[in-house]
Amino acid sequence: MTLHAATPTLKERQRQERERLILRAAGEVLADQGYDGMSMEDVASRVGISRAAIYLHFPSKEDLVFALLGRGIQMFAESVDDIFASGLTPREKVRAIIEHSYGGMAQPSFRFFNAVLQSPTFLSKMTERQRTMRDVWNPIQQRLTDVLDEGKRSGDFDTEMPTSLMVSLLSGLLTPFTFKQMVEQEGMPLPEVVNFLSRYFLKGIAPSQPDDLPETRRPAH
Amino acid sequence: MTLHAATPTLKERQRQERERLILRAAGEVLADQGYDGMSMEDVASRVGISRAAIYLHFPSKEDLVFALLGRGIQMFAESVDDIFASGLTPREKVRAIIEHSYGGMAQPSFRFFNAVLQSPTFLSKMTERQRTMRDVWNPIQQRLTDVLDEGKRSGDFDTEMPTSLMVSLLSGLLTPFTFKQMVEQEGMPLPEVVNFLSRYFLKGIAPSQPDDLPETRRPAH
Amino acid sequence: MTLHAATPTLKERQRQERERLILRAAGEVLADQGYDGMSMEDVASRVGISRAAIYLHFPSKEDLVFALLGRGIQMFAESVDDIFASGLTPREKVRAIIEHSYGGMAQPSFRFFNAVLQSPTFLSKMTERQRTMRDVWNPIQQRLTDVLDEGKRSGDFDTEMPTSLMVSLLSGLLTPFTFKQMVEQEGMPLPEVVNFLSRYFLKGIAPSQPDDLPETRRPAH
Amino acid sequence: MTLHAATPTLKERQRQERERLILRAAGEVLADQGYDGMSMEDVASRVGISRAAIYLHFPSKEDLVFALLGRGIQMFAESVDDIFASGLTPREKVRAIIEHSYGGMAQPSFRFFNAVLQSPTFLSKMTERQRTMRDVWNPIQQRLTDVLDEGKRSGDFDTEMPTSLMVSLLSGLLTPFTFKQMVEQEGMPLPEVVNFLSRYFLKGIAPSQPDDLPETRRPAH
DNA sequence: TATGAATGAGTTTTCATTCAT
DNA sequence: GATGAATGAAAACTCATTCAT
């Protein structure tokens, strides 16, 4: 009936829109109820459709969340790409990444990252599928690695600390853990939190000064 | 018949031992299945008793986990107290805290902290009970605050950064997040992780040098 | 597509039919097992559906029974209304009420009234809901009160006895207690039981004759 | 060790006392929680002993309640015997029975009768044991029958109504149903309730006057 | 395509009853 | 004798998933 097979438009467009709505709803529920706490009914009623309709788009709860995760990761990766391609200095790039993450976290759209990444239920289902979180998370890690390595080369960051550890520390910072504490409970304005966090992280990974080392206890000479 | 009521009477001893076993099992399951993933059956079978027997010690799943949490917090608080009372410098104290936490985390005994603190299901049940996580977590926060404030006074730590934020950052570091990444997946030896983490955190909260500020983008002069 | 929204759309019809079937089954089980003895499985298997399917219609066992009770009360109330509006004399109305009740009681549809009203478990749950049995039972009591007050005004019934007591006595008579004894165990035909009961009650509440009083013991003259 | 086998005293006395305490506690719990609502723990803790200790006296919950029922029936039967043997007129005897029952009902000691007699769970267990309630209840019925038959012979009561029905009606009156309504909810003083009830019942079973009959609707001639 | 209906598997919790000490 | 500990069986309820319409 469609004139041009190349026009996936109408129906297809509606379908994708529906899918987006479902993903958005799922993200919201996920963000504040967690993977186990999220029921298909929650999502469906938020979109205003029936539970069964979700299965027209995603074969299972697991797949739905996985898709959401994938989309989130991709979006985040694209942002990091933009930042990477900008003319900013490595330090400024790190700051921009933190800023961007926390900006997004205010909208619940990013909060669910944590929800998913911390849910043993989801993670174990993932493992059953032979898909390590490692693979999924890889695009992000790779990009962060690139930024940090660039900083190492430019002499901005500590070359002694393995980049993988830096990546892990930065990821940990982007988790809503600190965010919730400070903004929601202490009432600190978001930009200020971002400022402090950036400074903290950059100082933490700055090239070591001679007097940074003495952490391993030595007798005062 | 016993002269001193202080004698825990064997029966009582056994009871406490059972209780410890249950708590331990619960901690293990919790650590790798999360709050929702942990079923009473899991715990029971791990201890080698029946589901119902658990209810002889704890009135509900919620209470069991709550008890576990309480015990964990108390143990941690005591360790921090010891460290605080030692003659170490503030920087050394912070390092000792990190070291201790990660040492404990290797045994799954501490891993469950995260499991619980990140479970929306449990947290919301807690809220229903009018017991904020804030109150529960308070003893820890207070102690960390003490250590960090001491360091501020001694000139070791940045006085511009609010202590509450530092506490939050330190707490975030003690979370098994980074730990899992580095030790379990990257295979880095634990002491090395501790070393890096301590240095990172201490550098991050060190008093600001003039050239630490430029994070707010300024035109190149 | 249906022209009139008033058309219950087949689906809806089926749904209501199912609901009726569930209620009926529940009534039966309730009548001979009591509230505590009735398990959702009992009801489900009697209808030929799964336990879970019941929850598609009623959110809990409590609600199911409550709905059943409500329906029963409403049906009974309507019957009493019809009787009240008839041209019968007060005495005849009372008789009609008794007759109607016992007629209905033969079908187990009414038997459950007693089951519910006598179940401490259910009653206490009701209290938790802040819904006194008083409120629920009120429509019935009100109607019986109307009939009896009418009889008092017409001089048919004893004006000295509080109507509330009369209502209570009549209610007690409608309880399947006596019914079970006489019909099921003694084998007395139902109409005869109704006859005796009506006469007994009407004589009992008839206006007092001077020589009815002497119940308080007096010395034989 | 006991000097005289004939002295079942000390130990035995204590045993019986313990048994009485258990029965009393069971009666109380039964009265306001019903058979299903009564847990062995409820009873035990009320007596101040352990659940297991109850089983030293009664082989099962069922037996415990059965014993309680038996004792209650026997006590009631004895009271009726006393009344029967007194020099009172039949009408006065009936009144005395009602008075006695309601007096007892104020103390919860009698309330449990109803609880038990209306519990399908208990009744069905009874049936399994091949012991009809009929047999158990028989001593009471027999005595009430005696009193009422005496009244029939003396011309005080309606000879047309079968005595078994009268017994059933009287039993129904002794049920706490009306009692609860009037005393607990309407606040009517107990003696007044007894007065009204006695008059009502006696009028109800009084010998029929010609004009009592017309209940069966006949065409006005 | 969308949905209401249906379900099986699983979860927490309760309780009468038994038994070693 | 008395008890604390232990348990098996049941029961209410939830939820992801399927399917006929």
Contact D120 C37 (CB under 8 A): yes
In CATH terms, B61-207 corresponds, of 3.30.420.40, 3.40.190.10, 3.10.20.340, 1.10.357.10, to: 1.10.357.10
CA D121/CA C33 separation, integer angstroms:
6
Q: What phi, psi does A189 have (nearest 5°)?
A: -65, 140
Is any Cβ of chain A less than 8 angstroms from the Cβ of B162?
yes
A169 touches chain B (CB under 8 A): yes
Maximum CA extent, chain B = 87
Q: Quick one: average pLDDT of B14-32? A: 94
Amino acid at D218: R
pLDDT tens profile A129-154: 877 777 788 899 999 999 999 999 99
Chain B segment 33-72 residues within 8 A of A by beta carbon are 33-37
pLDDT higher than 80, residue C215:
no
CB of B208 within 8 Å of any CB in chain A? yes
Average pLDDT over residues C182-199: 89
Q: What is the per-residue pLDDT for A190?
A: 87
pLDDT tens readout for residues C22-34 = 999 999 999 989 9
Measured CA to CA, the distance from residue C139 to residue C80 in angstroms comes to 10
Tell me the average pLDDT across C92-103.
Answer: 91
As a whole number, mean pLDDT of residues D3-10 equals 65
Residue appearing with tokens 């409970």: A185
Output the CA torsion sign for C70, C72, C75, C76: negative
Identify which of A117, A105, A69, A95 has the alpha carbon closest to the alpha carbon of residue A170: A95
Is A217's pLDDT higher than 50?
no
Query: Who wins on pLDDT, A12 or B84?
Result: B84
**Cβ of A145 under 8 Å from any chain B Cβ?**
no
Q: What is the pLDDT of residues A152-189, one digit of tens each?
A: 999 999 999 999 999 999 988 887 778 777 887 788 88
Q: What is the dihedral of CA C89, C94, C97, C98, to 10 degrees?
A: -140
Nearest-CA neighbor of B133 among B73, B174, B59, B61? B73
Amino acid D52 CA to nucleotide E18 C1' distance, rounded Å: 9
Query: What tens digit of pLDDT does each residue of A61-86 get?
Result: 999 999 999 998 898 899 999 999 99
Averaged pLDDT for residues C108-129: 83
* Confidence band, pLDDT 50/70/90 cuts, at residue C53: very high
pLDDT band at B176 (very low <50, low <70, confident <90, very high): confident
Average pLDDT for C49-75 = 95
B10-22: pLDDT as tens digits:
788 889 999 999 9
CB contact under 8 A, B33 and A121: yes
SS3 content of chain B, % helix, strand, coil (to 5): 75, 0, 25
Q: What is the pLDDT of residues D128-157, one digit of tens each?
A: 887 777 778 889 999 999 999 999 999 999
What pLDDT does B187 receive?
87
The answer to whether residue D172 neighbours chain C at the CB level (below 8 Å) is yes
Chains within contact range of chain C (3+ C-beta pairs < 8 Å):
D
pLDDT score, position C220: 47
More confident of the two residues D117 and C42: C42
Q: What is the mean pLDDT of chain C?
A: 87
Domain boundaries, chain B: 61-207
What is the residue-averaged pLDDT of chain A?
87
Q: pLDDT by residue (tens digit) across B109-166?
A: 567 788 888 899 999 998 888 777 777 888 999 999 999 999 999 999 999 999 999 9
Q: Which chain B residues are within 8 Å of A164, Cβ to Cβ?
A: 181-182, 186
Taking the CA of residue D49 and the C1' sugar atom of nucleotide F20, their distance in angstroms comes to 60
Q: Where are the beta strands (DSSP E) in chain D?
A: none
Of residues A13 and D4, more confidence is placed in A13
**Please, which pLDDT band fits residue C6 given cuts at 50, 70 and 90?**
low
Residue C114: its chain D contacts at CB < 8 A? Answer: 118
Q: Which CATH architecture has domain A62-206?
A: Orthogonal Bundle (1.10)
Identify the top-confidence range among B115-124, C90-99, D167-176. Answer: C90-99
Nearest nucleotide by C1' from D47 CA?
F2
Instruction: Point out the residue nearest to F3 (C-alpha to C1').
Output: D50
Mean pLDDT of A50-71: 95
pLDDT value at position D113? 83
Answer whether D163 touches C (CB < 8 Å).
no
Residue type, B212: D
- For A80-90, the pLDDT digits (tens) are 999 999 999 99
- Report pLDDT for D109: 61
pLDDT at position B8, please?
66
Q: Is the pLDDT confidence value at B81 over 90?
A: yes
The minimal CB distance from A121 to the residues B36, B134, B196 is found for B36
Report the pLDDT value the prediction gives residue A174, as an integer from 0 to 100. Answer: 85
What would the two tokens of residue A175 be? Answer: 């988790």
Give B39-76 pLDDT, tens digit per residue. Answer: 999 999 999 999 999 999 999 999 999 999 999 889 88
3+ Cβ–Cβ pairs closer than 8 Å linking D and A: no
Enumerate residues 6+ apart whose C-beta is below 8 A from B155: B207
Tokens encoding D96: 């005395």
Strand, coil or helix: C103: helix
pLDDT in tens, D202-211: 999 999 876 5
Q: Is the pLDDT confidence value at C159 over 80? A: yes
pLDDT at B147: 97
Q: How many residues does chain D have?
A: 221
Nucleotide nearest to D125 (CA to C1'): E16
Detail the DSSP E strand segments found in B28-176. Answer: none
pLDDT at position A117:
85
Quote the CA–CA distance of B40 and B64 in Å, as a whole number: 10
Predicted pLDDT of residue D4: 55
